[in-house]
Amino acid sequence: MPGLACQSPTSQDWVAVRTVSAGVTPGCYNAGVTDPTFAVVDVETSGLSTRRHRILQIGVVTVASDGTVVDQWCSLVKLRWRFARLGPTRIHGIRRRQLRNAPTIEDAMGNVSRLVTGRILVGHNLAFDAEFLERAARQSRSPLDVSGKLCTLWLSRWLDPERTETHRLSDVCARYGVALDRPHDALVDALATAQVLPHLLDGHGIDLTCSTNPASSLRPLFMPASPAHRRSGHLRRLMPQL
């Protein structure tokens, strides 16, 4: 995985970032450091349809069962066609010049596969991120063999059965005092999601610090493997409600 310095995504030549917790060697987890339980993901895309739009940026944060961030990785993704549309740049802030020297989707998905394999995949509105990642994984032949899927959007909504609150990532972060200073940047959103996750699990009465099998403890909260969660039309209807 690339070990490039972390730069602002507004930098012209920003390509990838890989940082790890103190004392952890990139690519392996040192003795005494808890192996991550969760892989928190976020993608920025050129639109909402997996058939017509493409991933522009991917962020992955691996998190231990006690909520400690162990590893973080992010990459922009090179366009397959030079003049392919970028979609709502006013939202994601990604410019064409930033993608010229970015890794290909095949290279990026190889890293994603290594980071998420065997872990619980987490995202805010994970149905959206997972649909794009799974399509890219199939095309690049990089398996995403995860042990379950948790959506922080739905974890938050389940704690609000009367629907008296909004559940956009920015709103959830504000409720739990989590900073979200650059929304719609894949790494920033993934880190924020990783930080609200322990609060949401606590709200559901789940304490993983003493669990020997987190996947088993969390299974009742896993996303169902429902085709309805995987259709772009469903995602477009859901987006205004977030």
108 part of a folded domain: yes
Q: How far apart are CA 191 and CA 90, in angstroms?
A: 21
What is the span of the domain harbouring residue 190? 16-25+33-205
pLDDT at 58: 98
Give the up-direction half-sphere exposure of residue 173: CA atoms within 13 A in the CB hemisphere.
18
Nearest in space to 69 (alpha carbons), one of 80, 60, 56, 79: 60
* In-domain check, residue 10: no
217 occurs within a structural domain: no
Q: Which residues pair with 16 in a beta bridge?
A: 75
190 falls within a domain: yes
Q: Give domain status of residue 117, yes or no.
A: yes
Please report whether residue 4 resides in a domain. no
Would you state the pLDDT for residue 87? Answer: 82
**What burial class does residue 8 get, using C-beta atoms within 10 Å of its C-beta: 0-12 exposed, 13-18 middle, 19+ buried?**
exposed
Give the model's pLDDT for residue 196: 97
The contacts of residue 177 (CB under 8 Å, 6+ apart) are none
For the residues of 76-134, what is the DSSP string, one character each? E---SSTT-----HHHH---HHHHTTSPPHHHHHHHHHHHHTTSEEEETTHHHHHHHHH
pLDDT of residue 35: 65
Q: Would 124 be classed as within a structural domain?
A: yes
Closest CA to 179 of 188, 93, 187: 188
Q: Which helix (DSSP H) or strand (DSSP E) does residue 179 occupy?
A: none
Per-residue pLDDT for the chain (242 aa), expressed as one digit of tens each? 443 323 333 333 334 444 433 333 333 333 334 467 999 999 999 988 988 889 999 999 999 988 999 999 999 999 887 777 888 887 898 998 899 899 999 999 999 999 999 999 999 999 999 999 999 999 999 999 999 999 999 999 999 999 999 999 999 999 999 999 999 999 999 999 999 999 999 999 998 877 777 888 899 999 986 544 444 444 444 444 44
Query: Does residue 200 form part of some domain?
Result: yes
What's the confidence (pLDDT) of residue 26? 34
CATH assignment at residue 54: 3.30.420.10
Q: How many domains does the chain have?
A: 1
Nearest to 56 by CA among 46, 68, 67: 46
